[in-house]
Amino acid sequence: MKKIFLSTIALSLLLISPIMGNEEKELTGDELMSKSNQAFYYAGKDGSSDVEMTIRDAQGGTRTRSMTILRRNEGENQKYYVYFRSPADVRRMAYLVWKNVKGDDDRWLFLPALNLERRIAPGDKRTSFVGSDFFYEDVSGRNLTDDTHELVETTDEYYVVSNKPKVPNSVEFAEYKVWLDKTTFIPMRSEYYDKNGKLYRTVESKKVEEIDGYYTVMEAVASDLITGSSTVNSFSNVRYNLDLNANIFSQRFLRRPPREVTSRK
Amino acid sequence: MNKVDSSQKMINNDAEADLIVPKESDEAGFARWKTWLPEIGLRFPVLTILVTLVITVLFAMQFPKVTFDNDPENMLSKQEPIRVFNDQIKAKYALYDFVIVGVVNDADPNGIFNVTTLNRLDQLTHELLSLKRGEDGLPRVTRKGDDGTYREETLDLRPAGRRDRILATVFNQNSNDLFIENEDGSYSSAIINHELIAPSLVDNIKQAELGSLKMEYLMENPPETEEDALVIRNDAMSNPLYSGTLVAEDEQAICIYIPIITKNYSYNVSQLVEALTADWDGDDLVMITGQPVAQDTFGVQMLTQMAVSAPLAGLVIFLLLLYFFKRLQLIIAPMLVALISVITTMGLLIGLGYDVHIMSSMIAIFLIPISVSDSVHILSQFYDYYPQFKDKAKTIRHVMSYLFMPMLYTSLTTLVGFASLATTPIPPVKVFGLHVAFGVAVAWLLTMVLVPAYIMLAVSNKSLKQAEQRPLVEDDTSNADFMTRFLERIGFLAARRPRTSVFVITVLIAIAIAGIMRIRVNDNPIKWFTRSHPIRVADDELNRHFGGTYTAYLSFSAVDADAADCMTKGAIMKKAAEERFAAKFPAETKRFMSAIDGLLPLYRNVFTADANRCFVDLVREAERIDDDTGAAWNTLADTINYLDSEGLTKEVLLKALSEETEIDNSIRALFEDQFAAVSDEMDGADLQDAALDICDEFTDLSFRDFVFEQQAELEAPLFKRPEMLRYLQDLQEHIIKSEVVGKTSSAVDALIKGAYELAYVEAPSDATEEERIEMEKINEANKAVPSTAAAVGQVFTQLEGMKRRDYLFHMVTRNYQEANLWVQLKSGDNIDMETVVEDVHEYIENNPPPVALDVGWSGMTYINVVWQDKMVTGMFGSLASSFLIVFIMMVALYRSVLFGLLSMIPLSVTILVSYGMIGWLGKDYDMPIAVLSALTLGMSVDFAVHFLQRARDEVALRGSWLKALPIMFRVPAVAISRNAITIALGFMPLLAAPLLPYKTVGSFLAAIMVLSWIATLLILPALLSLFERRAFPNTAKK
């Protein structure tokens, strides 16, 4: 992986925006989440990143997966290309996601060992991303209009925003709270509560670095408090504004991965 | 039970003559040490009664701490290897105990798949998920109202009837307890929501619009129309993981599996389900079963049983005694002894922290008849002798000194019989045996101390005066006459024709032994319920519709995790490389081979733990080879790949290539050569694909890719290897042939279903019928284990990412090194499980797996088999040891080996005949029957002790056995009969129980009492006639 860029999988990445100075006026929950979303999922016009994913189950066993993720912003929509590098049996497996803010996402997958490319029908985005504790929605972002957002607390370091689904039975959580870093707007911690008000899931940003001027999450952890499993995503080779060829995010590149994800010259 | 011959006065005629006249020597010689215990009661009656009362209250105070345990798993100690293994498997595969809710509809033409029922199931599922604890501690669920809105509703699951409510309060059972308290004081539902198995919550992978693949829940949305419902039916029936488990293959039933934190909640969860489905009308039948519910329900009913049967047994015995003895004052003492023995024994058990188990719930029922008989004998003799002494204390001293030895011995033998259960390896049986033994000792002690105290205080001299005028048993004549005449007749017959008797008995024994040979050892906790019990009905019904609700797990792990070393792998790789590359790239192939040869010696001596080590260096070399050969082709292909499809023509494409300077000219020429063959008409994406196809021929031959591919195959964990998965598939196909197995499920089923749906290609809408058929054939061919480990791995990765996370890992470990096969049996009969175990063992012997495997069974259905085996052998040991101890005691009592032997014979015949009967009747030898074997020994020897003791005395008194015979059949025989009848009838209330083990115990013990009564009165006279000389040497000589 010589050429690498930035991406945003799993609650990762960085913040653009910043430096809004010391605003006098208090931001609303909606504004904060919008800023955070921009910083976290939309940094740069495109990006690339390598991800080491470690899934640790309740018994202490671990599974690792390494991937390279490419992202390209197209207005408010985005395209993602996820390429698996290891373990050996899933090497060259690839996902393509076209995130459509107004409407269902488009998804494709390619399984090289079966020489198989399939379109995946739009479905629940709050399901596990490749068997990890991260959800698809953590990777590509949750639609801000699905929830109501309320600033519930401002500390020295964080804005704490409470988010509640507008359609209560549409998701498994009744509420999730996000701790946004006051300077970077990166969500440093998210807590998900069920209908009984019990905390059952957390997503944390463990390490944030500034890369090419963008605050970037370099390590994210999602924990399932019910099953006791957790997943750590470690990011490396993060790059922004690579001018990625738009053609990469097409089905043809599923079978024939782009140079950007293979280390082949 | 001591049936020391007591009731001399029961027979009116010759009564005085029959009495053994008290002798001075008795009083002086024995009295001191035989009566020191009664002396306490005689001298300090008030104190004795007070102390007894205080102690009893202390024991009774333990009662509220009572806990129950009906888990058959606890038939084995926690440290048993099989339980340790079972716990490991449960943890490894996240397996839980389930409450199984079956919904059956066989009236609707679409069976269970009708709109109403499916909507009900969906609602029930979400109601269960919504369960939470209200402020008032009552369960709350979110339910959909008639108007379609959702609202929270509070439920009260306590029983409606007052009696049941009182019982529940007394025994500390709260049906509303459905929550576990968290460390922070909040409460969580006892239902493990994320493991709930229901159509609305299990994954389905299916074909969707525009050739896409859909992964959602089987019943993502409840159906609104019949078509919707039928789609759900088709999806369910075509999924091998659900057909036969979640949905019945006859399409008439669906099961919801509710996993619970611990088994103790299962009864309450079943009550919850009943409350939530109470308003289901129409043809939907709700059936609740599953081993945990059965166990828990059993426990709750055990309470009723204990609260009803034991007092009932007490009442029956009380009435019988009243009928025999006609004096209330006299009967109170034995009843007190029984009551206090039971209270102290149960108090001890609870106080020591033992759970009340099915066995220990019967303690009262055993203790009542045993403890009553001791004191009855004392009292009846007391009334007999009182007229001679006219002094309560003196009479008691006399009676006690006479009865001391027989009472001690009969109590001891009973005690030994029960205590011998401590030698079994079954903890609840041990606890039961030792506690009843304790109770027998308490009863003996009470008889020795409390009964004298009772007489001193409660029996007035006035009433004793009246008693003198009135024979103890006045109107007993007709009844006694009938019994006497009958017994006399058989007894005389036996004694006069000893050889014929012995012959008849020998024949009987032979028949009994033949019966014992036919005994079928089998148990099934579900069959502990009577046939009409709702649990049993639900079990029958669901096992009729489904593959079976009895699950056992068969788990596999490699004996040696990674047997192949780098050398072996190198050899395999060389062979594969030869096949792949030699034709096209002979030089490069040679270079690659020598790279392998060069690297392998480095690892020759390293038995490396890092499996990837063999490949790391090789990948670098392969990359270099690729760079030297295929790099140009890759650049060329990449150039084409990145081009915009729109407006692409051959010309544009060739121009783009010519601008790429890195492409070697000879390669470019080779490409252009082949590209010329592509039609000039072609443009856009199609043209791009055609150009890439040309490159693929060369780019596909990458050594680097080859090494990774090989690594994926050679390093694949056991259960990603196609040959291993195929082995598992074959094994499953073999197991399902067994009649007792309804269904097996494994990761292979999930894999094949996944591979099929992933690779499925729908025929185009304009395809002909033939094309369609052809297409279906191709699709059907995908219903198989994929051919490479990488393909397997990629399908599994898709399954790992489905909505229902981790479902796969109930069947395979996360590292795919171990697998767990679910085997569902149609019945919980141990004998069926044993058949399957043997069958699988044989199959694996004959068809060794590709890699040596450790194979282990677990699951409750299997554990039942293990403890059953232990019980059968354990009970034999216990029987043998108590037989020996009782025999030694008998020899000591009579100071004669012959009498020792004689006293063992009737009970041996009793045991043989009663077990022979079980064999001939075809009744399974189950837990209750096994337990009874050892303890009947201790109980039935009493009759013989009594008979022989008296025979000795009578022969000494009358000079010969034949002269003693008539009196033997009038006095002691009648006493024995009364005892046998009392005890046998005392067990009768058990027959009314809704739980079969109680019925079994009741009828079996009654049968044993009657048998041993008859055996004693038949066999002993015959044997005494036969061995008269040796038995009574002194008198015989005369």
User: What is the rounded CA–CA span in Å between residue B483 and residue B504?
Assistant: 23
Which residues of chain A carry a pLDDT beneath 70?
A: 1-25, 263-265
> For residue A200, what are its two tokens?
């059952």
Mean pLDDT across chain B, nearest whole number? 84
User: What is the rounded CA–CA span in Å between residue B935 and residue B359?
Assistant: 13
Q: Do A247 and B210 touch (CB under 8 A)?
A: no
* DSSP helix/strand/coil, B459: coil
Dump the DSSP string for A2-34: -S------TT---B--------SSPPPHHHHHH
> Which of B998 and B141 is assigned the larger pLDDT?
B141
Where do we find the tokens 């440093």? A188
Q: Go through chain A and tell me how many residues it has.
A: 265
Those residues whose C-beta lies under 8 Å from the C-beta of residue B396, and which sit 6 or more positions away, are B35, B38, B42, B378, B382, B452, B455
pLDDT of residue B18: 41
Q: Go through chain B and tell me how many residues it has.
A: 1038
Q: Do A120 and B213 touch (CB under 8 A)?
A: yes
Nearest to A264 among B210, B634, B758 (CB): B634
From chain A, the residues in CB contact with B644 under 8 A are 247
Q: Do B815 and A91 touch (CB under 8 A)?
A: no
* DSSP helix/strand/coil, B427: helix
* DSSP helix/strand/coil, B694: helix
Segment B72-94 shows an average pLDDT of 89
pLDDT of residue A181: 95
Q: What is the pLDDT of residues B648-662, one digit of tens each?
A: 888 888 888 888 777
CA B233 vs CA B227, B243, B254, B256: distances in Å: 10, 10, 11, 15
Percentage, residues of chain B above pLDDT 70: 92
Cα-flanking dihedrals φ and ψ of residue B113, to 5°?
-85, 55
Helix B328-351 / helix B291-325 crossing angle, nearest 10 deg? 160
Which of 82-121 (A) contact B at CB < 8 A?
A: 87-93, 109, 111-114, 116, 118-121
Contact criterion met (CB below 8 Å) for B155 and B140: yes
What interface predicted TM-score (ipTM) does this complex get?
A: 0.88
pLDDT of residue B480: 53
User: What is the rounded CA–CA span in Å between residue B648 and residue B629?
Assistant: 28
Radius of gyration of chain A (CA): 18
Where do we find the tokens 């493991």? B195
Q: What is the pLDDT of residues B958-1009, one digit of tens each?
A: 888 888 888 787 767 777 777 788 778 888 888 877 788 888 888 888 888 8
User: What is the rounded CA–CA span in Å between residue B270 and residue B256?
Assistant: 12
Spell out a b/e string for B568-600, using b for 16 or more CB atoms within 10 Å of the CB, else e: ebbeebbeebeebbeeebeebbebbbebbeebb
Query: For A2, what's the count of Cα atoms within 13 Å in the CB-facing half-sphere?
Result: 4
Cα-flanking dihedrals φ and ψ of residue B179, to 5°?
-135, 150
Where do we find the tokens 């990777």? A139
Adjacent-strand bridge partners of B215: B205
- Lowest average pLDDT, out of B460-474, B686-700, B921-935, goes to B460-474
* DSSP helix/strand/coil, B836: helix
Tell me which of A54, A67, A89 to substitute to probe the interface with B (most B C-beta atoms closer than 10 Å): A89
Min Cα distance A63 → chain B (Å) is: 7
Q: Does residue B1015 have a pLDDT over 50?
A: yes
Q: Do B794 and A90 touch (CB under 8 A)?
A: yes
Where do we find the tokens 């399901």? A127
Adjacent-strand bridge partners of A210: A215
pLDDT of residue B971: 67
pLDDT of residue B811: 95
Q: Do B755 and A114 touch (CB under 8 A)?
A: yes
User: What is the rounded CA–CA span in Å between residue B355 and residue B803?
Assistant: 41
Those residues whose C-beta lies under 8 Å from the C-beta of residue B424, and which sit 6 or more positions away, are B430, B433, B870, B871, B874, B875, B877, B878, B934
Cα-flanking dihedrals φ and ψ of residue B869, to 5°?
-60, -45
Where do we find the tokens 């020759």? B604
CA A178 vs CA A185, B399, B687: distances in Å: 10, 88, 50
Q: Do A111 and B795 touch (CB under 8 A)?
A: yes
Characterise A141 by phi-psi region: left (phi > 0), alpha (psi -120 to 50), beta (else). left
Residue B9 pLDDT level (bands cut at 50, 70, 90): very low
Residue B934 pLDDT level (bands cut at 50, 70, 90): low
Q: What is the pLDDT of residues B210-259, one digit of tens each?
A: 788 888 899 988 999 999 999 999 999 999 889 988 999 999 999 999 99
Residue B415, Cβ density class (10 Å: 0-12 exposed, 13-18 middle, ≥19 buried)? buried
Contact criterion met (CB below 8 Å) for A85 and A53: no
Q: Does residue B476 have a pLDDT over 60?
A: no
pLDDT of residue B833: 94
Adjacent-strand bridge partners of B996: none
Contact criterion met (CB below 8 Å) for B962 and B496: no
The C-alpha angle A13, A16, A21, rounded to 5 degrees, equals: 135
Among candidates A4, A78, A11, A91, which has minimal Cα distance to A249? A78
Indicate if the alpha-carbon torsion angle B760, B762, B768, B772 is positive or negative.
positive
Q: Does residue B563 have a pLDDT over 60?
A: no
| Domains of chain A in sequence order | 25-262 (2.50.20.10)
From chain B, the residues in CB contact with A120 under 8 A are 212-215
pLDDT of residue B443: 94
Nearest to A89 among B637, B643, B789 (CB): B789
Query: What's this model's pTM, rounded to 2 decimal places?
Result: 0.85
Contact criterion met (CB below 8 Å) for B416 and B938: yes
Q: Does A47 touch chain B (CB under 8 A)?
A: no
pLDDT of residue A165: 94
Q: Do A90 and B793 touch (CB under 8 A)?
A: yes
Among candidates A224, A261, A264, A241, which has minimal Cα distance to A56? A224
| Residue B420 CA to its chain's centroid (Å) | 24
Q: What is the pLDDT of residues B717-761, one digit of tens each?
A: 999 999 999 999 999 999 999 999 999 999 999 999 999 999 998
Among candidates A181, A187, A185, A182, which has minimal Cα distance to A202? A187
Q: Compute, in degrees rounded to 10, the torsion defined by CA atoms B493, B496, B500, B503.
A: 90
Segment B490-512 shows an average pLDDT of 87
Where do we find the tokens 């709109």? B115
Q: What is the pLDDT of residues B253-283, one digit of tens each?
A: 999 999 999 888 888 999 999 999 999 988 9
Q: Do A118 and B91 touch (CB under 8 A)?
A: no
Q: Does residue B135 have a pLDDT over 60?
A: yes
Characterise A67 by phi-psi region: left (phi > 0), alpha (psi -120 to 50), beta (else). beta
> Which of B325 and B610 is assigned the larger pLDDT?
B325
> For residue B966, what are its two tokens?
């008539």
Segment B658-686 shows an average pLDDT of 82
Taking each continuous run of H as one helix and of E as one strand, the counts in chain B are 40, 14
Q: Compute, in degrees rounded to 10, the torsion defined by CA atoms B70, B71, B73, B79.
A: -80
Where do we find the tokens 């009893």? B56
Q: What is the pLDDT of residues B791-835, one digit of tens each?
A: 999 999 999 888 887 889 999 999 999 999 999 998 889 999 999
Q: Does A123 touch chain B (CB under 8 A)?
A: yes
Contacts for B476-481: CB closer than 8 Å, 24+ residues apart: B476/B10, B476/B324, B477/B12, B480/B10, B480/B11, B480/B974
Q: Does residue B16 have a pLDDT over 50?
A: no
Q: Do B790 and A265 touch (CB under 8 A)?
A: no
pLDDT of residue B171: 66
pLDDT of residue B17: 35
User: What is the rounded CA–CA span in Å between residue B840 and residue B824?
Assistant: 14
Dump the DSSP string for B360-409: GGGHHHHHHHHHHHHHHHHHHHHHHHHHHH--HHHHHHHHHHHHHHHHHH
CA B1027 vs CA B146, B898, B904, B1038: distances in Å: 87, 9, 15, 16
Per residue, what are the HEC states of B615-672? HHHHHHHHHHHHHHHCHHHHHHHHHHHHCCCCCCCHHHHHHHHHHCCCCCHHHHHHHH
Residue B679, Cβ density class (10 Å: 0-12 exposed, 13-18 middle, ≥19 buried)? exposed
DSSP conformation class of A262: S
Residue B2 pLDDT level (bands cut at 50, 70, 90): very low
Residue B595 pLDDT level (bands cut at 50, 70, 90): confident
pLDDT of residue B188: 86
Residue B286, Cβ neighbours under 10 Å: how many? 18
CB pairs < 8 Å spanning A and B: 145
Segment B37-47 shows an average pLDDT of 87
Q: Does residue B471 have a pLDDT over 70?
A: no
The C-alpha angle B849, B851, B855, rounded to 5 degrees, equals: 65
The C-alpha angle B495, B499, B504, rounded to 5 degrees, equals: 95
Q: Does residue B1013 have a pLDDT over 60?
A: yes
pLDDT of residue A147: 94
